[in-house]
Amino acid sequence: MSAGLCPVSAGSLPVRTRAAAAATRAVNGLSRRARAGHGTVAGGRVGLALDPLLLERLAAGRPTALVSGTNGKTTTTRLLAVAIEGALGPAAINATGSNMPAGHVTALAAAPPGAPAVLEVDEGYLPRLIATLGPEVVVLLNLSRDQLDRTSEVRMVASKWRRALAASPATVPVANADDPLVVWAASGAAKPVWVGAGLSWREDAVGCPSCEGRIGFAAGEDGGWACRCGFSRPPLDVRIDGDDVVLAGGRRLRVALALPGRFNRANAVMAAAAAAAMGAGWEDAVRRVGEVDEVAGRFAVVGVAGCAARLMLAKNPAGWRELLDLVCPGERPVVVGINARVADGRDPSWLWDVPFERLRGRTVVATGERCRDLAVRLRYAEVPHRTVRDEVAAVRAAWMAGRGAAAAGPGARRAPAPVAASSAASSEGQVDFIGNYTAFTDLMARATRTGA
Amino acid sequence: MSLEIVVVHPDLLGTYGDGGNGVVLAQRARWRGIAAELVDATSGEALPTGDLYCLGGGEDAAQTASAERLRDEGALERAVGRGAVVLAVCAGYQILGTSFAGADGRAISGVGLLDVRTVKGNGRRAVGELLAEPADGRLPQLTGFENHGGLTIRGPDVAPLAEVAAGVGNGDGTEGAVFGRVIGTYLHGPALARNPALADLLLSWATGRRLEPLDDAEEAALREERIAAVRERRLRHRVRYELGSSS
Ligand SMILES: [Zn+2]
């Protein structure tokens, strides 16, 4: 650890900052007890009103990493906090969804002085946080379109990241080299760490951010890319090779993950690379991230009205594509849930950018407040489905349908299919649920209460 | 003979899910036994010859790039001259006009297939449910989601697609524009998923056939819900207004 990062005592903070931090904790405590919220944002707002410099002051003297990107922020933030725990101790980390300054203040006010901070940051807020906090490390995952009725254009976001990083030379970006927009943002920095983390959604990345020409991608997910102007994928410092991670010097480590999916492997490797940049050992970081088996309810198997459901969250076409890759091929019934509240984006037209055709042949139930939009999408994808607006009832319906004929006679259980006999024991009666933000959080809240 | 449905520049005009319009047209043709080919025509290649063209919404820089490409190429005008059908949404609608406002407010020349021009609006973006009463009385109400900053001004030669019942549309109480077999609109959703009758109108123009009805129960349920949501919101607004003014 460098000298500038030694822990400071609370006594070195100005009185106003100490008072504001105390108010943050008090309001959050009250709001938790009153069940008015999760107690993550209200206190932070009060604290920032009392001391506008609260965030900088609370962050001063801590090893700090910021994590941003369209998809994987929450998971990677958690994985990075776990990865550095051995080297730096428990980290201050913001609760899921509270990825703007009030949420960051809340996280830091609750942490002991000098504890490291790993903060998930909204893409739009990242430049401001880089400027005010001057973090050691910034993890840049990917950039693609998110909520359509927001007006931030992904290219503009990349340019703002680029300017902020160029103005913060001590900050090390740990950047996904497979995403041209991320590379554009990070290549202005002094010493980026390039990770070949993959990119399955390229629709937002074909236009060259350097010359407006077209970027060509090599065949296959792990291929490089280049534009005629010379802008191309930089040489990798870290790459993924099957189950292994390979470092620039040729060192190879096995990454055994409890979390499923290619994208979680990418998140884990990004987290381990960031941890290494913060001083953790690669081996220790990789071992620790491997043990994480759920993040804020994602991928958790929960009880819903007596059925076992694996909960997954996808907020945009790129995220949906990743999760459809994960559940297909497979044979579990799939419940897809869509809401269109402010937090989800109010226009669900992006459903037509999701290849739901892949669900053909599966038992599919459409649910959520916008289940009718989803039903029409599935009709044109020629995916037979049922539409059940209530999410719990939808999981129940899918589970019953998945048991097929066995549901006719009570107690007449039957293995789902002979081909997957070995995995059937663990997945029998399980339903995969994929929802967008509030559809996911609503079902998670109800599942916890059910406690089945 | 197969119906060629071309989705124009999905790499530039694919930001708002409007590529779904092509899927809806192709499926509704196939379900009636009409062979249909769906072609994604990216901006890097020449625009293929087609019977139906769909343009969607996109970001400012992409919209300008697409307009320049289409103008230079001239293939879309030639296709319309041959009788091709065009549905253009949002940025695509603006591109078909004579000019539109670029990111810096400067007027950029459009393709000129519709006698409309689009200028920068006065501040607030129009974002929300759009409900409109079609000028063509054979079509039912049009429902969709609008998301744009421009005001579109019609010239004397072009008729509006509909009168706005809720939302903003062109900005003068009308929504969209029709000229011959070219339709421009601000409806996302995508438009044809939420308005299958409009999809069938375009298909009947392209095939010259009367089309037998399909079982559109799921589309009907979606339409009913979205139209009710608009009414409910207006009712809430009115109640708030009346409560506010009485106090
Ligand atoms: Zn280039």
Length of chain A: 452
pLDDT the model gives residue A398: 95
Same topology between domain A62-289 and domain A301-450: no
Instruction: Give me B209's structure tokens.
Output: 């056939």
Candidates A252, A225, A232, A249; CA nearest to A241 is A252
**Angle separating helix axes B217-246 and A371-380, nearest 10 degrees:** 160
Residue B234 placed within a domain: no
Q: What CATH number did the domain enclosing B144 receive?
A: 3.40.50.880
Q: Is residue B232 situated within a structural domain?
A: no
Q: Is the peptide bond before B190 cis (omega within 30 degrees of 0)?
A: yes
- ipTM attached to this prediction: 0.95
Contact indicator for B7, B22 with CB cutoff of 8 Å: yes
CA-angle at B241, arms to B238 and B242, nearest 5°: 85
Ligand 1 center to residue B47 CA distance, Å? 23
**Residue B219 belongs to some domain of the structure:** no
Residues whose Cβ atom is located within 5 A of ion ligand 1: A 208, 210-211, 213, 227, 229, 231
Top-confidence residue, A217 or B162 = B162
Show me where the domains of chain A are located: 62-289, 301-450
pLDDT at residue A325, as a whole number:
87
Position B231 in a domain: no
B237 inside domain: no
Closest to A258 (Cα-Cα) out of A267, A249, A250: A267
> CA A165, A170, A171: angle at the middle one, nearest 5?
50
Q: Give the DSSP H or E segment for A275.
A: helix A262-277
Looking at CATH, the fold of the domain delimited by A62-289 is given as UDP-N-acetylmuramoyl-L-alanine:D-glutamate ligase (3.40.1190)
The architecture of the domain spanning A301-450 is Alpha-Beta Complex (3.90)
Look at B23 and A375 and tell me if their CB atoms are within 8 Å.
no
The answer on pLDDT for B195 being more than 70 is yes
A155–B61 C-beta distance less than 8 A: yes
Cis ω on the peptide bond leading into residue A329 (within 30° of 0)?
A: yes
- When CB atoms are compared, the residue of A151, A207, A353 closest to B17 is A353
The distance of A398 to chain B (nearest Cα, Å) reads 19
Give the count of beta carbons closer than 10 Å to the beta carbon of residue A79.
31
Number of domains in chain B: 1
Please indicate, yes or no, if residue B169 is contained in any of the structural domains: yes
Please tell me which residue of chain B has the smallest CA distance to A206. B11
Predicted TM-score (pTM) of the model is 0.82
Supply the pLDDT for residue A30: 73
Residue B9 a catalytic site member? no
CB contact under 8 A, B23 and A352: yes
Cα separation, B56 vs A135, in Å, equals 40
User: From CA B160, how far away is CA B20, in angstroms rounded?
Assistant: 23
Residues of chain A with C-beta less than 8 angstroms from the C-beta of B42 = 206
With contacts defined as CB-CB under 8 Å, which chain A residues touch B16?
148, 347, 349-350
Do B135 and B159 meet the contact criterion of CB atoms below 8 Å apart? yes
Contact A347 B11 (CB under 8 A): no
Distance between CA A153 and CA A134 in Å, rounded?
A: 25
Q: Calculate what percentage of chain B has a pLDDT beyond 90.
A: 81
Question: Does A352 contact B193 at a Cβ distance shorter than 8 Å?
Answer: yes
Span B46-55, average pLDDT = 97
The least confident of A12-16, B18-22, B209-213 is A12-16
Q: Are strands B162-166 and B174-175 parallel, antiparallel or unpaired?
A: antiparallel
Q: How far is CA A131 from CA A17, A134, A169, A247, A306, in A?
A: 20, 6, 11, 30, 49
Domain boundaries, position B77: 2-214
Catalytic residue among B9, B54, B90, B148: B90
The answer to whether residue B54 is catalytic is no
Q: Is residue B233 part of a domain?
A: no
Asked whether residue B111 is assigned to any structural domain, the reply reads yes
From the number of C-beta atoms within 10 Å of its C-beta (0-12, 13-18, 19+), residue B135 rates as middle
One digit per residue, the tens of pLDDT, for chain A of length 452 reads 344 334 444 457 888 888 888 888 888 877 766 554 555 678 888 888 888 888 888 888 899 999 999 889 999 999 999 999 999 999 999 876 688 888 898 889 888 888 999 999 999 999 999 999 999 999 999 988 765 545 457 888 999 999 999 999 999 999 999 999 999 999 989 899 999 998 877 767 677 888 877 888 887 656 789 998 999 999 999 999 999 999 999 999 999 999 988 899 999 999 999 999 999 999 999 999 999 988 888 888 899 988 899 999 998 888 899 899 888 878 899 999 999 998 898 999 999 999 999 999 999 999 999 999 999 999 999 999 999 999 999 999 999 988 763 444 444 343 333 333 333 334 456 899 999 999 999 999 998 644 43
State the Cα–Cα distance between residues A363 and A385, nearest whole angstrom. 7
**Contact status, residue A283 vs residue A257, Cβ threshold 8 Å:** no
> Residue A218 has what pLDDT?
82
